[in-house]
Structure 1
């Protein structure tokens, strides 16, 4: 699959050779110049028979794309778990606006509270809508095996940190994929009513990855191993550093006695 981006030389049956100036891969429309620096023509990749300069047809998938990449990521993580990379974890949560969903793949020790400090890869649904790639050299619409291969080539050292066994999490993740894929994703967000405390065991939110799908009506999704109760534990600041000078420590405005 050739790259399709601004600057690509194309051929149109009525206009001849031209140069793409902008691409919208979400809708399949492009803008291109044909012999004029000041005027562009809008073309649809599904109906206008646009070709690359060497005559290869440019084909655009007519089916609506996923509006979020999480289901594709879940399928990729499941395959990596099967290959022995079980210390790979997928965390997803909504932006404050609720319009888009973020995701974070992280590796190493499974510690959900320490996730932001773990090595891994981030992404956002807002970016995906404009450019539907994960960001590690993959192409739009890449298959699960192609995503795995692209990630392994892009960051072999980072992926190597996911090599190891976490059978509890891998079994949980496989069950979740069987229940949700290919049309739904999970979120590890913990919603609550304004001003109310978090419930003891809130349900795991499930979201459709394409518009027009019915609300999820499958089995209840359990929280991943090591997650239960994290939101109800008290968060205690670490103790101030010890001193052997006999002088009191002042840490963030608190005096240690």
Structure 2
């Protein structure tokens, strides 16, 4: 859906993929200005508190929409534009660097990996400071576990000067 929105000129719309404390995978949506200028994959704390979020627990009914069971990405993009006009207005504009990164990320997703921002250190289980990431963390679907040594780059910085989520 986000790739479809990027094609339609909403390239300033970004995602923050993360694992929620209950174990569900989530996507927070926001404009470029909601993401840290120090870490383009992470929203700021205030932005995340206000963000529209998809949870994997809702499966193919994002945002509790009951009319999406058989929708493809284009149909979901249509509904997103119709139902969240303010968010989409903030996401309107060119950001070719981010849109290019997103295309590469979709290649990883199509290969069976999910990105996420809040990985845990493999030995301690403690969350990793997002500013220490050197690549986008990936989780292999069905295999269980973080893929270390990810080759998926980090996205370009966002526009917010506040610290990213996970930083004080």
TM-score (norm 2): 0.69
CA contact 2:120–2:126 (8 Å) conserved in 1:
no
- What residue number does 1:207 align with? 139
Query: For residues 224 and 106 of structure 1, what CA distance do their matches in structure 2 show?
Result: 14
CA contact 1:168–1:225 (8 Å) conserved in 2:
yes
Deviation digits for residues 207-236 of structure 1, max 9, x if unmatched?
A: 245x479x9799711111127xx77xx85x
Going from structure 1 to structure 2, the CA distance change for 1:153 and 1:182 (only over 3 Å counts) comes to farther
Going from structure 1 to structure 2, the CA distance change for 1:144 and 1:197 (only over 3 Å counts) comes to closer
Q: By how many angstroms is 1:87 displaced?
A: 0.9
Q: Which of 152, 168, 171 is the matching residue for 2:81?
A: 152
1:114 aligns with 2:114: no
Give 3-state SS (helix, strand or coil) of 1:225's partner: coil
Q: By how many angstroms is 1:159 displaced?
A: 1.3
Point out the structure with max Rg over C-alpha: 1
- What residue number does 1:101 align with? 25
Unaligned 5+ runs, structure 1: 1-75, 236-257
Going from structure 1 to structure 2, the CA distance change for 1:93 and 1:217 (only over 3 Å counts) comes to closer
Give 3-state SS (helix, strand or coil) of 1:135's partner: helix
Query: For residues 196 and 183 of structure 1, what CA distance do their matches in structure 2 show?
Result: 23
Over the aligned positions, Cα root-mean-square deviation in angstroms equals: 3.4
Decide which structure has greater strand share. 1
Query: For residues 155 and 197 of structure 1, what CA distance do their matches in structure 2 show?
Result: 32
Query: For residues 135 and 194 of structure 1, what CA distance do their matches in structure 2 show?
Result: 30
Q: By how many angstroms is 1:188 displaced?
A: 1.6
Q: Which of 122, 125, 140 is the matching residue for 2:69?
A: 140
Equivalent pairs counted in the alignment come to 150
TM-score (norm 1): 0.48
Unaligned 5+ runs, structure 2: 37-42
1:88 aligns with 2:13: yes
Query: For residues 197 and 149 of structure 1, what CA distance do their matches in structure 2 show?
Result: 36
Decide which structure has greater helix share. 2
Q: By how many angstroms is 1:110 displaced?
A: 4.9
Matches within 5 A, 1:1-257: 76-97=1-22, 99-112=23-36, 113-114=43-44, 116-117=46-47, 120-126=51-57, 128-129=58-59, 132-135=60-63, 137=65, 138-181=67-110, 183-192=112-121, 193-194=124-125, 198=129, 200-201=132-133, 203-209=135-141, 211=142, 220-226=151-157, 235=168
